[in-house]
C-alpha cells in the first residue's frame, strides 16, 4: 500500500478560520480569508497583530474545537481503504497543543489508528509517497510527491500540484 501523509492545520483542521473568528470578535473587525489572499494573516493585521495571533495559538483550548475542513473526513475515510494514511502535524512550535490535537483527531478521525498520528518538527523526516500540506516549505524538504493544499498564504505558489478542496484530493487518489 502506498502511504499518504496529511497535514493537520489548514488541511483537515480550520485553524485559520478560528484565528480570524477570534481576532474579529476581539477587535470588532470582519476579516475574511479572501481579504488575506497572498498574505500571512499577520501581514494583513495592524502592528501588534502577530503578538495577538501568537497569544491565541498558545491558548490550550485553541486546538480543541477547531472546525473540520469540509470533505476531509469522508474522503480520508475512503482513501484509508486504499492507502496507508498518516496525519503529520508540525507541533513543536506549540508543545501545549499536543493533547488537544490528539483528542481532536480521535474525535473527528476515529477511523485512523493513533499509531498513525505523527507529531513532528521537520517533515523532511517522513517516509511516505505523498504529503498533502499547505506549507510549501514542508513540501520542499519532503522526499515523495508534495500536494499543496490551497490556503490564502500559498495562492501564488505554482511549484506543486495543487488541491483546492478535498474533492480535488478525491480526484487524485480515488
Ligand atoms: Mg498546515
Asked if the model's pLDDT at residue 140 lies above 90, the reply is yes
pLDDT of residue 91: 82
The mean pLDDT of 96-100, rounded to a whole number, is: 92
Active site residue 129: no
Question: How remote is the CA of residue 68 from the centroid of ligand 1, in Å?
Answer: 13
The answer to whether 131 and 139 are in contact (CB under 8 A) is: yes
Say if residues 77 and 111 touch (Cβ distance below 8 Å): yes
Please tell me the distance between residue 7's alpha carbon and the centre of ligand 1 in angstroms: 5
Q: How confident is the model at residue 103 (pLDDT cuts 50, 70, 90)?
A: very high
Helix (H) or strand (E) holding 44, with range, is: none
Active-site residue, from 9, 14, 133, 134? 9
Query: How many whole angstroms separate alpha carbon 88 and alpha carbon 56?
Result: 22
In whole angstroms, give the CA distance from residue 43 to residue 61: 25
Pull the grid cell for residue 151: 490556503
Surrounding ion ligand 1 within 5 Å at CB are 7, 9-10, 134
Catalytic residue check, 134: no
88 CA to centre of ligand 1 in angstroms: 9
CA of 157 to the centre of ligand 1 (A): 15
The answer to pTM > 0.85 is yes
Q: Using the predicted structure, report yes or no on whether residue 72 has a pLDDT greater than 90.
A: yes
The dihedral over CA atoms of 84, 90, 94, 100, expressed in degrees to the nearest 10, equals: -10
Is the per-residue pLDDT at 16 higher than 90?
yes
- Position 94 pLDDT exceeds 90: no
**What is the domain partition of the chain in residue ranges?**
3-14+67-173, 15-58
Indicate the average pLDDT of the chain.
Answer: 96
Mean pLDDT of 53-78: 95
Rounded Cα distance between 64 and 110, Å, is 15
Contact present, 98 and 91 (Cβ < 8 Å) = yes
How far is the C-alpha of 135 from the C-alpha of 150, rounded, in Å?
9
Q: What is the pLDDT of residues 104-133, one digit of tens each?
A: 999 999 999 999 999 999 999 999 999 999
Which fold does the domain 3-14+67-173 belong to in CATH? Rossmann fold (3.40.50)
Residue 151: Cβ-neighbour burial (10 angstroms; 0-12, 13-18, 19+): buried
CA of 160 to the centre of ligand 1 (A): 15
Amino acid at each position: 500500500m502506498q502511504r499518504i501523509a496529511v497535514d493537520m492545520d489548514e488541511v483537515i483542521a480550520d485553524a485559520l478560520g478560528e484565528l480570524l473568528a477570534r481576532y474579529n470578535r476581539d477587535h470588532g473587525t470582519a476579516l475574511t480569508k479572501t481579504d488575506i489572499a497572498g498574505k500571512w494573516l499577520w501581514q494583513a493585521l495592524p502592528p501588534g497583530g502577530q503578538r495577538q495571533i501568537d497569544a491565541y495559538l498558545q491558548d490550550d483550548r485553541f486546538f480543541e474545537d477547531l472546525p473540520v475542513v469540509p470533505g476531509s473526513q469522508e474522503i480520508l475515510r475512503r482513501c484509508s481503504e486504499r492507502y496507508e494514511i498518516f496525519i503529520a502535524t508540525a507541533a513543536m512550535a506549540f508543545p501545549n497543543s499536543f493533547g488537544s490535537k490528539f483528542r481532536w483527531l480521535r474525535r473527528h478521525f476515529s477511523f485512523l489508528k493513533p499509531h498513525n498520528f505523527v507529531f513532528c518538527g521537520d517533515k523532511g523526516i517522513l517516509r511516505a509517497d505523498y504529503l498533502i500540506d499547505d506549507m510549501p516549505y514542508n513540501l520542499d524538504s519532503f522526499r515523495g510527491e508534495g500536494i499543496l493544499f490551497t490556503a490564502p498564504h500559498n495562492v501564488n505558489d505554482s511549484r506543486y500540484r495543487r488541491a483546492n478542496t478535498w474533492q480535488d484530493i478525491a480526484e487524485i487518489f480515488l
